[in-house]
Structure 1
């Protein structure tokens, strides 16, 4: 599985979360602690590419992706040290669907929207055609890769993501489940997603027929106090959502419940039930 982080609040340098924490996203690309296969075996490496999307002064987000492992790309360290953003998301990939190539790396961008995903759907090669035929004709040519995640994103846009994010994601999940259950009543769908329009941050934690992917949130400026003192805290009035905490102070991180749609705006974190 993959790992991701999402941040919104006062502008900070990207390296505050991506490279500097003791258990930063780059560290997790080699040594994550919460990825498991179905048989319980720990999978600690997320080396199939990475990506960062960020919002600064322009409406459309910046985007930097590569199919190299995050630990292997010195440009990532340099960019994170120089770029400051009020909202950003970052993702490291361990593929179960789609080739190792830049087009398959997260986040995915459409206009001012970003989307990233940890999880999977079983039998994607068998249901891909049905799902992609439901994507709006003007959006279909924008598909560049071969992942379930990118298909989910453009299907959600087709179903109204830009106007009603929660309703559109519910409709998208319903379509995926309809296609999946036609061929396998025991089929699995697992979603831990982050979505942003540059103003609000949304997350989803949902699973069908499988234990959910992990997702945690913190508004506590001390959530990474295992930093050396010279390293910065996150500023007050900011929110961080992660697949896996960035240090070992777990009490500072609140687990987001399964079957939840969470909206984060101006440091307000509101979770609602999410069911298709």
Structure 2
């Protein structure tokens, strides 16, 4: 599965997370320590926020360790809020459109995990999208579809509720299709102001998630796995948790799928 990191606070160069630490995201692309696969070579991406409401976005299909453009951008771009991701595909071709993060308006989203039996329930889930959201689909991943579903469920006004309702929708779609629900959802997303993350799985084995504050700057991060142990105290986020970070602090609360049930088309 994938590795990712997100940062919120005083502006820093992207390389301070992507490349500089001893176990940076680029290092994790070839040698992850807390994932099923140590190699995450099916592309990468970065979304960052600056003076405009919508994020900048750079994605490519090369392994992160071999892209000199990524290192160059990391040395030049400073941001107070960015999301970075290295991909190990669990489905969908290795293409730029399938690389994370995904964006829509001011929102950005990235995911580590998968929807089990996705091809059997994909059509049911796509049918839940409005025509406008369906037209926004660019790639073929379960991750991007989760993001578009979240937007349709009110992400802009209710981030927690949107994720909870979409999680319930995926579980219900699996049951209607006659398969055991299998969802791993460790994701981060932002509107350029707050940074949210969720750690959940139907089998209680969700991909890892950590948070840390910085000793030398006003800022905090949320990551798949720690990228160094210098000047930071890493806190593992419990399974079935929802995290919200602002520049004033971090809140963590229990997360569960909504109880609402839908009649899903067969």
Give the TM-score, by structure 2 length.
0.94
Structure 1 residue 20 corresponds to structure 2 residue 20: yes
Give the equivalent residue in structure 2 for 1:31: 31
SS in 1 for 2:132: coil
Distance 2:195 2:66 in 1: 29
Aligned: 1:167 with 2:161 = yes
Residue 88 of structure 2 is aligned to residue 94 of structure 1: yes
* Distance apart, 1:104 and its partner CA: 0.3
Q: Which residue of 1 aligns with 2:246?
A: 265
1:161 is paired with a residue whose SS is: coil
Q: How does 1:36-185 map to 2 (within 5 A)?
A: 36=36, 43-184=37-178
SS of the aligned residue for 1:139 comes to: helix
- State the shift of 1:117 in Å: 0.3
User: Structure 1's 98 and 275: CA in aligned 2 closer, same or farther, altered over 3 A?
Assistant: same
What's the CA shift for 1:139? 1.2
Deviations 1:160-196 (A, max 9, x none): 0011111111111010010112335533101001010
Is contact 1:219–1:267 with CA below 8 Å preserved after alignment?
no
What is residue 225 of structure 2 aligned with on the other side? 244
CA contact (8 A) 2:199 2:209 kept: yes
Map 1:209-248 to 2 at 5 A.
Answer: 209-221=203-215, 235-248=216-229
Q: Show CA shifts across 1:200-226 (max 9, x none).
A: 0000001102511100000132xxxxx
SS at match of 1:151: helix
Instruction: Give the whole-Å Cα distance in 2 for the aligned partners of 1:136 and 1:25.
Output: 35
TM-score (norm: length of structure 1): 0.90
Aligned residues: 257
Distance 2:202 2:230 in 1: 30
Asked if 1:198 is matched to 2:179, the reply is no
Is 2:14 the counterpart of 1:9?
Answer: no
Q: Aligned with 1:138: secondary structure? A: helix
Confirm or deny: 8 A CA contact 1:205 1:256 kept in the other structure: yes
Give 1:19 shift.
Answer: 0.4
Q: What is the Cα deviation at residue 248 of structure 1?
A: 4.5
- What is the deviation of 1:257? 1.1
SS in 1 for 2:131: coil
The one-character-per-residue Cα deviations of 1:249-275 (angstroms, maximum 9, x if unpaired) are 698100111111111011411011110
List, as ranges, runs of 4+ consecutive aligned residues in structure 1 with deviation greater than 4 Å.
248-251
Conservation of the 8 A alpha-carbon contact between 2:117 and 2:179: no
Structure 2 unpaired stretches of 5+: 258-266
Determine the structure 2 residue equivalent to 1:256: 237
2: distance between equivalents of 1:20 and 1:184? 47
Q: In the alignment, is the contact (CA less than 8 A) between 1:188 and 1:210 conserved in 2?
A: no
Cα RMSD after superposing both structures? 1.4
| Rounded Cα–Cα distance in structure 1 between residues aligned with 2:144 and 2:70 | 23
